[in-house]
Amino acid sequence: MQQAIFRLIILFFTLSILGCSEDETKSAYVPDFSISPHPTDGNVFVFENTTEGDHFYWRWNFGNGDRTDREPIDENTINSFYPEKGTFDVTLTIWGDQTDLANNKSVTKQVTVDEDVFSADFSIESVAGKTNSYQLVNTTTGSFESAVWLVQGKEIEDNGQAYEAYFPFEGKYDVQLRIASNTYENALTKEIIINADDDEYRSHYELVWNDEFEGTNIDVDKWKFETGQHGWGNNEWQNYTDGANVEVADGTLKIIAKRIGEGQKVGDYTSTRINAKASHTYGIFEVRAMMPEDKGPGHWPAIWMLGESIQNGTSWPLCGEMDIMEYVSWDPNTTSSSIHIQSNNHANGNPIGSGHLPLETAEEAFHIYGLIWTDSFVRFYRDDIENTILTYNKPDEATKDNWPFDDPFYFLLNIAVGGDYGGVQGVDDAIFPATMEVDYVRVYQMN
């Protein structure tokens, strides 16, 4: 009995020693760090790891939204930037074992920042004697490294104090000033309301891309053909060819839809679909064109634009589509304009469009089909800007689904045959050949 009691005492003593040894191992390091201001960078603090004892990993939480992962300790100092004044808790967590990740301890200290690095602000004042012109004055206080204006979708790097902005058209415009220092950036946005179009807006635009269709051949540096007879998403019947259905003569482009077979099925018709190689963002886009002679239902000419992103894998209608002019021969003497976006499109049954609007000479005379595109709206018109037929304003909560119009788009010109829209009243084989003539395609952007 005495021997058994003696063995229990020895076992308890041994376990106590082992337990103390393990606790001592875990307690063999004391996490700690020091704080000092950076010698040259304002609002930057230097944190030095002063932990005593063996340790292997650290993790910082600087209290300003920045933190590190658990990572090996290669050096003992690290910096963090505090753009705003205040008191912040800084926590250092130290691991004292390479394999036992539960073996960690933390220490927290506070850092006090006396001043904001800067306070972004700007003023807006109308410019005397200039219509729809405003002086934007940077009134930011504090030190900063760069200032960038975002006006009508364009970035203007200007580290000075002022920028004169011009707004040609009626509408609401967001103006933004982005101020940056070190890795910190702050953006301030204000709204400018323009009550009327500037009558002299054309003087602020310059021609940046065009085709007047002079000569006898299509300019392959500006256009490329899309070919095929797979229905084009609308159950169309035409086969788009590589040049056999297009002519350039007498100063116009002629896109010609033809019947080459017995008719009434895919492949019995040929036509042309050309895409502009250049893409643009914002501006005034005009096409002067005449629709085919009115002979009956079945063809569907279009002057339109697609988001360039579709060429890089973005699906339709997420890429965005702007139909500057659509014509269906089953409803002669009319044209329409529309947009198709992820949130609103004909596949969903909720497209945004003008509907068929009367144009008595659509088939007998050339008309200008135009688009004004800004960072705030897209506006479609016929012949004159005063004849607006559809306006779509940028939503207050703009997303790629409802506003894909801050990215480049390119022109398409084509005549489809039949399909879900062009063939609503069938296809009359007596209407062919059908020719859409295009006098010019022009793109203007603000100079």
Q: Is 326 a catalytic residue?
A: yes
- What 8-state DSSP symbol labels residue 53? S
Burial (CB < 10 A; 0-12, 13-18, 19+), residue 131, is: middle
On the CB side of 164, how many CA atoms lie within 13 Å of its CA?
A: 7
Residue at 72: amino acid letter:
P
Tell me the H-state helices in 107-229.
none
Residue written as tokens 């016929």? 382
Other CB atoms within a 10 A radius of the CB of residue 48 amount to 13
Going 254 to 260 to 264 to 269, the CA torsion angle's sign is negative
- Supply 92's token pair: 């250092």
Exactly one of 155, 326, 360, 364 is catalytic; which is it?
A: 326
CA 273 to chain centre: 27
Residue at 381: amino acid letter:
Y
Residue 210, SS3 per DSSP: strand
What are the φ/ψ torsions at residue 375 (nearest 5 degrees)? -75, 0
* Residues contacting residue 185 through CB under 8 Å, at least 6 positions apart: 178, 179
Residue written as tokens 């130290």? 94
- Supply 394's token pair: 């940028």
- Closest to 390 (Cα-Cα) out of 404, 375, 373: 373
Going by their DSSP bridges, the two strands 205-211 and 269-271 should be labelled as unpaired
* Residues contacting residue 211 through CB under 8 Å, at least 6 positions apart: 219, 222, 223, 253, 440, 441
CB 50 within 8 A of CB 32: yes
- What 8-state DSSP symbol labels residue 320? -
Exactly one of 236, 247, 308, 321 is catalytic; which is it?
A: 321
CB 58 within 8 A of CB 93: yes
Residue written as tokens 């002057």? 303
Q: Is 200 a catalytic residue?
A: no
**Whole-number Å distance between alpha carbons of 328 and 143:** 61
* Residues contacting residue 216 through CB under 8 Å, at least 6 positions apart: 248, 249
What is the helix, strand, coil percentage profile of the chain, to 5? Answer: 10, 45, 45
- The residues carrying an active-site annotation are 321, 326
